[in-house]
Amino acid sequence: MHHTCPSWIRQLSLSLILLLGITSMQVHSQTGGEIRVSAFPNAKALPLYLGLAKGVFEKHGLKINLSLTENSNSQRADLASARVDVVHSAVDNALAMIEVAKKDAVIVSGGDSGMNDFIVQADIKSFADMKGKTLVVDAPNTAYALQAKKILLQYGLREGVDYTVKPVGAVVYRYEAMINSHDNSASILNLPFNVVAQEHGLKSLGRLVDIFGAYQAVGTFVMRDWASSHRTLLETYLQAYIESLRMVRDPQNKSDCIRLLKDKLNLSDWSAQRTYELLIDPNFGFTPDAQFNQLGFQNMLKLRAEIERKENDRVNLPEQYVDLSYYAAALKKLQSSH
């Protein structure tokens, strides 16, 4: 007897075949070396720009899909929902994911201490002058916003009582907010926007690394399960990234770096030159080889505990936030290849 297959079964079968096909394509693309990377549209993305321009990632068999994020909230959401694989951002964002959102992110390398200045309008003479004013931030619960709140607290100024916090997103938007409205009195700006801001008549009340000392700001973080299932891919990515960072710091590539800064960030010759000088300053710019700053991380944890942590937040031991085994393997591969 001949039985016809019900249409819903045929539909289900087709759906399963399609799904299996998509899954196998995704697996193939992961093993084939495609990585979706999220970074901020600022000078800290220079190793990615230069590495892509010079074919460093390609040489390692990697296809980099780079997206530039508008703010750390959306960047964290993209990582948690697997829309991106690797994030370069202030590692305090990884802590916010782990403690507040209960998402299992893990920090896998360092990057820099912030490259930040506390930038204010020309009429603000001191931190105490921020009373009754507006502080512009990325997201109010992470990273540089916490540093700003800590500084103002030292001058007796409390958030929401003595000054207003206004979240506007990435540093480019904070810079624009400061330039476009005198009512936005202060913000933490990093390269190149702290340089460009001063070109436009704003001023710095100090570098944050001078105010706070050691601080682990930007690093690389991923979801822990993605890292463990893509160990070789992640190690290769970190190897290529460190190689690209070394190229940024190599004086031979200075003109290429300055050209990229001008092209990507629309900088004047002077701003691009000054930004590059600060980027390669090991006391202010990139940490050599993207090393993780343990003392800076301890200081960042203390700051977070003091300013932001809530009673029901999940709190780990410092080593539970960080897994440097991928970084160590990447460095070893890099050393053996030279």
- What pLDDT shows up at residue 308? 74
**Residue 187 Ramachandran class (φ > 0 left, ψ -120 to 50 alpha, else beta):** beta
- What pLDDT shows up at residue 27? 38
CATH of 29-114+216-336, picked from 1.10.10.410, 3.40.190.10, 1.10.10.10, 3.30.70.260, is 3.40.190.10
Report the alpha-carbon distance of residue 29 to residue 23 in Å, rounded.
10
pLDDT > 50? residue 19:
no
Per residue in 63-114, pLDDT (tens digit) is 999 999 988 999 999 999 999 999 999 999 999 899 889 999 999 999 999 9
Report the alpha-carbon distance of residue 143 to residue 74 in Å, rounded.
15
- What pLDDT shows up at residue 176? 97
The pTM for the full model equals 0.85
Taking each helix axis as running N to C, give the angle between helix 325-336 and helix 231-249, from 0 to 180 degrees, rounded to the nearest 10: 60
Per residue in 264-319, pLDDT (tens digit) is 999 999 999 999 999 999 889 999 999 999 999 999 888 888 887 767 666 777 77
- 203-220 mean pLDDT: 94
Look-up: residue for tokens 């690797």? 86
Per residue in 108-166, pLDDT (tens digit) is 999 999 999 999 999 999 999 999 999 999 888 777 899 999 999 999 999 999 999 99
pLDDT > 60? residue 28:
no
Bigger pLDDT: 10 vs 148:
148
Note the maximum CA span of the chain: 92
C-alpha 46: how far from chain center: 12
pLDDT > 70? residue 21:
no
pLDDT > 50? residue 1:
no
- What pLDDT shows up at residue 32? 55
- pLDDT above 70 coverage of the chain, percent: 88
The one-letter code for the residue type at 142 is T
- Return the sign of the alpha-carbon dihedral for residues 95, 325, 236, 113: positive
C-alpha 68: how far from chain center: 10
- What pLDDT shows up at residue 4? 42
CATH of 116-212, picked from 3.40.190.10, 3.40.50.1700, 2.40.50.140, 3.30.1280.10, is 3.40.190.10
